[in-house]
Homo-oligomer: A and B are copies of this chain.
Amino acid sequence: MEIMKKLTLEEVGKLAGVSRATVSRVVNGYPHIRPEIRERVQRVIDETGYRPNLLARSLASDRSNIIGLVIPSGAQAVFTDPYFPCLTQGISRGVNSNNLTLALFMVHSAKEEERTILSILGTGLIDGLIVTSDNKGDVFIPELLKHEMPFVQIGRSLYSDKIYRVDTDNIAGSYMATQHLISLGYQRIATIATNRNCSGDDRFTGYCSAFADHGKVVDRKLVVYGDYTVDSGYHAMKQLIPQRPDAVFITSDTMALGGMRALQEANLRVPDDIAVVGYDDLPPAVQANPQLTTVRQPIEQTGFLAVSMLVKILSGDDPPSHQIVLPVELVVRASCGATRLKSTSHPIQEDTYQAN
């Protein structure tokens, strides 16, 4: 129990009176072993606290069981947005339940990009990757394809459909959000969009589709752009207010946070003077803004599924499909001043519409 010296297979074998090959087999759960031998070896393992050296195992088996998570430098708002923590949580759950180890590669600058790629590729350390790239001009993906590094992308980029990826249904989500406002009878429905990434494009597409399907035309004066930061949402809303929208679909909750502040400063009340629908689930913001109806994405699940997909790819069986697009929900909140904390004592009042 208390033996701290690091044992090897060989030594465990000696202790159990078998060869190292046999010990290796029981450690790895190989089935065809005489029960008595298995037991004897297992007892020695338990008593000595033997733990296999993962490095040696990986080297010999050409499989490290380590997967990497790449967070590119373009990912702004890593702090302010719970998106990454949520995603990481989901990935971590997936990693744990598949007995893998997770390596985290955060890129903090364009300079570090090359370094990161090199430290991942061709070193044998990483079996596969999860790449969180929503950028239009991602630099990693072509590199990964060239080196035949297995990976699954979270989000969308401008590459071939053959890429494995999992995403949330941005188009359907913003379609729902916009349709919701339309059906409520709003006439001047603006949007704070972004053209910095693919999800932004998709969300704008959904907005436009809803208009089209209801025989309405998008008024370009009611479309302004931000960059997913709180500040940009604030400035975008400032820009929008003179256009007198009666509703705004803000395509990210970080921007919504800034937008709400701008409205507050302009003494416009939500939703009496103007309706607002946000996107993403940013818990602190949402809790601080109970009047904010929002589109909720299953972010954690996205991470979890990405791991499952990667595991399948690594095991050789092709996953059933190359792309998973998860449905999102529109969370409609009543907009009075009442408590909306998501606690058990204060049940949240919300209606949930499922997409798909």
Residues of A within 8 A of B (CB): 4, 6, 49, 51-56, 58-59, 64, 66, 69, 78-80, 82, 84-86, 88-89, 92-93, 96, 99, 101-106, 108, 112, 115-116, 118-119, 121-125, 146-148, 230-231, 234-235, 254, 257-258, 260-261, 265, 282-285, 287-289, 337, 339, 341-343, 345
| CA gap between A234 and B343 in the complex, in Å | 10
Residues of B within 8 A of A146 (CB): 4
Whether B147 lies near A4 (C-beta < 8 A) is: yes
Are B103 and A103 interface neighbours, CB within 8 A? yes
B124 in contact with A54 (CB, 8 Å): yes
Bound-complex Cα distance A99 to B105 (A) = 12
Q: Does A287 contact B124, Cβ atoms closer than 8 Å?
A: no
Contact across chains for A337 and B121 when beta carbons are under 8 A apart: no
Q: Are A96 and B79 in contact (CB under 8 A)?
A: no
**Which of B56, B78, B341 meets A231, CB within 8 Å?**
B341
Contacting residues, chain B, for A231 (C-beta < 8 A): 341-343
Q: Are B51 and A123 in contact (CB under 8 A)?
A: yes
| One of B85, B112, B230 near A287 (C-beta < 8 A) | B230
User: A58 vs B288: C-alpha distance in the bound complex, in angstroms?
Assistant: 49
Q: Report the copy number of this chain in the oligomer.
A: 2
Between A and B, 23 residue pairs with Cβ closer than 8 Å are: A4-B146, A51-B118, A55-B125, A79-B89, A80-B283, A82-B82, A85-B85, A88-B104, A89-B108, A92-B108, A96-B108, A96-B116, A102-B103, A103-B104, A231-B343, A234-B339, A234-B343, A235-B345, A254-B284, A257-B288, A261-B288, A265-B337, A284-B284
A28 to chain B minimum Cβ distance, whole angstroms, is 14
Which residues of chain B are near A234, meaning CB under 8 Å?
339, 341, 343
Residue among B101, B122, B284 making CB contact with A285, cutoff 8 Å: B284
Known: A79-B85, A230-B283. 4 other contacts (CB 8 A): A6-B122, A51-B121, A56-B59, A103-B104
Complex contacts, A115 vs chain B, CB 8 Å: 96
Closest chain B residue, CB of each to CB of A234: B341
Picked from B105, B121, B258, the residue with its CB within 8 Å of the CB of A341 is B258
A345 surroundings in chain B (CB, below 8 A)? 235
Contact between chains at B284 and A80 (CB < 8 Å): yes
